[in-house]
């Protein structure tokens, strides 16, 4: 292994309280720290932990394609690694969930012979399970990016829960500092109408990013989703719409009693 290294960490959704001890130590001991967080308190916290910390938020420019932004972030991180520095990059939430640059940077570092690893963090999905009282094991859970769901032939199981990420920025490939028109939302509704009745209640969710604040939890009938308040951080949770169909043959083969 070469002298430089890369550790990717997650700061959690609420950095104060959700930043793990292991991640704190990595930030403190790194020669160079890069970070992207969602609020000023987390920004100050990381700078206190390591004065070398450099925000990567500058690469997000209005109208700039996201893929170019992600590549610029990877290039900046790799500059430090190639310099022989023990480099740490901190991303809010879980660093492996909806964080393309983290995966790309690790692949790049490893391909060049550098040690690279990722430490887990608390994601928006973890917060959703806690705030909505959802157990994903109860009925199963399908998760898709909302844009990906529209663009591809995804098939849903209405007896299972569904999570659609980034429901407030469907079809947007550039960073918009002034907000998003979200013209792709009707296409999401069009596809969902194949599986759910218009009055099926769904939940627009957004995790609280500051201590003491409450999460956004908006239950609405599916047909009224366009009238809900959406942001780039909004997630759509769709509870099961029907019971699971048991496979009697498998019950028998497993030797389980049939009690329904």
pLDDT higher than threshold 70 for residue 181: no
| Overall pTM surpassing 0.85 (yes/no) | yes
Question: To the nearest whole percent, how much of the chain has pLDDT over 90?
Answer: 72
Q: Is 256 part of a structural domain of the chain? A: no
Question: Which tokens in the block code for residue 62?
Answer: 């209005």
Kindly tell me if the per-residue pLDDT of 174 is higher than 90.
no
* Residue 259 in domain: no
* One domain, residues 41 and 114: yes
* DSSP β-bridge partners for residue 10: 91
pLDDT > 90? residue 236:
yes
Q: Is 141 found in the same domain as 98? A: no
CA 113, CA 223: separation in Å to the nearest integer?
A: 52
- Report, as an integer, the average pLDDT of 205-231: 91
Give the mean model confidence (pLDDT) for residues 2-17: 91
Per-residue confidence band for 115, with pLDDT thresholds at 50, 70 and 90: very high
Strand ranges inside 110-186, DSSP E: 115-118, 141-145, 161-165
Residues 185, 170 contacting (CB under 8 angstroms): yes
Active site (catalytic) residues: 66, 70, 92
Let me know whether 135 and 230 are in one domain: yes
Final residue of a structural domain among 78, 99, 118: 118
């Amino acid at each position: 292994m070469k002298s430089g290294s890369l550790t990717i960490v997650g700061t959690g959704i609420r950095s104060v309280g959700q930043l793990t001890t292991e991640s704190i130590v990595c930030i403190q001991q790194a020669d160079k720290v890069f970070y992207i967080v969602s609020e000023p308190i987390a920004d100050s916290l990381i700078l206190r932990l390591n004065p070398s910390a450099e925000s990567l938020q500058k690469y997000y420019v209005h109208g700039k394609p996201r893929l170019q932004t992600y590549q610029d972030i990877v290039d900046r991180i790799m500059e430090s690694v190639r310099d022989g520095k023990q480099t740490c990059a901190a991303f809010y939430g879980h660093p492996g969930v909806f964080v393309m640059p983290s995966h790309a940077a690790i692949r790049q570092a490893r391909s060049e012979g550098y040690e690279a690893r990722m430490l887990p963090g608390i994601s928006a999905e973890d917060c959703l399970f806690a705030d909505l009282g959802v157990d994903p094991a109860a009925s199963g859970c399908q998760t898709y990016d909302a844009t990906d769901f529209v663009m591809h032939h995804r098939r849903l199981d209405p007896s299972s829960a569904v999570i659609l990420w980034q429901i407030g920025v469907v079809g947007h490939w550039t960073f918009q500092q002034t907000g998003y028109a979200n013209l792709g939302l009707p296409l999401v509704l069009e596809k969902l109408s194949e599986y759910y009745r218009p009055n099926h209640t769904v939940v627009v969710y957004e995790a609280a990013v500051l201590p003491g604040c409450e999460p956004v939890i908006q239950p609405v009938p599916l047909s009224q989703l366009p009238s809900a308040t959406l942001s780039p951080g909004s997630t759509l949770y769709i509870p099961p719409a029907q019971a699971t169909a048991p496979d009697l043959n498998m019950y028998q083969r497993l030797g389980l009693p049939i009690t329904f």
